[in-house]
Amino acid sequence: MITQGVLVTGRCSACGGTTTCDVGQFFDRGMLRWGAEGQCADCPNGWCEQDSGPVTPEHIRQLLLQEHGPARLRLSGDVLRLVPLLQALRTAQELTLVEAKAQAAELGTTGLTGTLVEMEILATHLRRRAITVTVEAAA
């Protein structure tokens, strides 16, 4: 399992006290999953939210990117056949052919950036089709 998370404090909507929220993204059983779980230190208010799919809510992505920085996925070898690359991109992210072609071009130049979990998931899909890639910090 690949996971990345961050703790965030805030104000409770019920009592105005201090809340602590654990938000994160993880790759489990072949799927991108995300979650947010929080509670108030001053009252019984609490919540838990989880889901899966190709897209994590943007506010969770942004918290992870702010805390950990982006990761970059790059091709580390030549792509001999474009079709497996496009198929992997389309399957992993539910992209149109036009979107997959744009991402393939980006992979071959500057690389794709996102959260570490997102880039590792995409790398897994590409490696399954014998496409060599690397994931590194995008700093």
Q: What is the pLDDT of residues 112-127, one digit of tens each?
A: 999 999 999 999 999 9
Backbone angles phi and psi of 7, in degrees to 5: -95, 135
Q: What element of type H or E holds 46?
A: strand 46-52
Distance CA(63)–CA(86), nearest Å, equals 29
Q: What's the mean pLDDT in 15-25? A: 96
**What sign has the CA pseudo-torsion 8, 11, 15, 17?**
positive
Confidence at 5, pLDDT banded by 50, 70, 90? very high
Q: Residue 108 pLDDT > 90, yes or no? A: no
Overall average pLDDT of the 69-94 stretch: 89
AA letter at 137: A
Question: With 80 as the cut, is the pLDDT of residue 80 above it?
Answer: no
pLDDT of residue 29: 81
- Which residues in 54-64 are b (16+ Cβ under 10 Å) and which e? eebeeebbebb
Q: For residue 94, with 0-12 CB atoms within 10 Å meaning exposed, 13-18 middle and 19 or more buried, which class applies?
A: exposed
> Tell me, what's the pLDDT at 82?
87
CB-CB contact of 25 with 75 (8 Å): no
Name residue, tokens 């497996």: 84
pTM: 0.86
pLDDT at 17 over 90: yes
Helix and strand totals (H; E) in the chain: 4, 7
Q: What is the rounded average pLDDT of the residues 19-48?
A: 93
Query: Which tokens belong to 15?
Result: 């009592």
pLDDT score of 6 more than 80: yes
In the prediction, which pLDDT does 112 show? 95
Q: Which amino acid is at 118?
A: E
